Amino acid sequence: MSGDWPLVVKKGRTNVGVVLVHDITGLDPVNLSFADKLQQEGFWVAAVDMFRGHKAKDLQEGMALRQKLTGEDLTSAMRFARERLQREMPAGSVVGSMGFCMGGGVALHGACHGDFAFCVDYYGMIADVEDVKDLKGPLLLVLASEDDRINPWAYSQLLPKLDEHRKRVHVELYPAVTHPFHRPDWITSPFSGAKSYDPAAADDAWARSVAFIRGFVR
């Protein structure tokens, strides 16, 4: 699967664009609300629909849709969205990537395989940590302390590899919250069954993400 990918494009007021990737549910109203919030901050946004219109009714369906995507699909979708933004943005603009959970992994994959100025990864994994050798811009990695799936990988594989290849990374680890604490309609995590949404952590992580992205405004 390659070629054109469905996008929702939102025009900004700055020289910074963000390719935004949804979580395991698909490009639903909650994920689109994050695109709206980025636009309100003045950023251009291309929210890419990795599931091509499908919305997962539960975690199992979302995982099945994700498993159909190849590494080539991820690279193609991220490149397509970045190029679309760059055609519409002013000359000299920059584009970064951002995503949540599954989308965080796709955003990081895209940043490792394309010309992205930065990446914001909310607890997302990539298949091969060696790919970070080609990461061009800094990474903001948002983690939840009670995430027993992502954290062992992040600390034992991703961060050592980033250090080995001398890449800039900033880690925000939020205590006593679980994956995915940022999503307001998930009171209970579909991954663990534990209490999920944490307004204070979500607001703080969002503010830090915006500040990180705003650092590229010229």
Indicate the average pLDDT of the chain. Answer: 95
% of the chain surpassing 90 pLDDT: 92
- pLDDT confidence band for 1 (50 / 70 / 90): very low
Quote the domain boundaries for residue 40. 7-214
- pLDDT confidence band for 188 (50 / 70 / 90): confident
- pLDDT confidence band for 189 (50 / 70 / 90): confident
The CATH number of whichever domain residue 178 belongs to comes to 3.40.50.1820
Domain annotation covers residue 1: no
Domain annotation covers residue 66: yes
Task: Give me the sign of the Cα torsion angle 11, 51, 71, 61.
Answer: positive
Overall number of domains in the chain: 1
Domain annotation covers residue 2: no
Domain annotation covers residue 182: yes
Domain annotation covers residue 165: yes
Average pLDDT over residues 175-188: 91
Q: What are the tens digits of pLDDT across the range 91-102?
A: 999 999 999 999
In this prediction, residue 186 carries a pLDDT of 84
| 172 three-class SS | strand
Q: What are the tens digits of pLDDT across the range 20-73?
A: 999 999 999 999 999 999 999 999 999 999 999 999 988 899 999 999 999 999
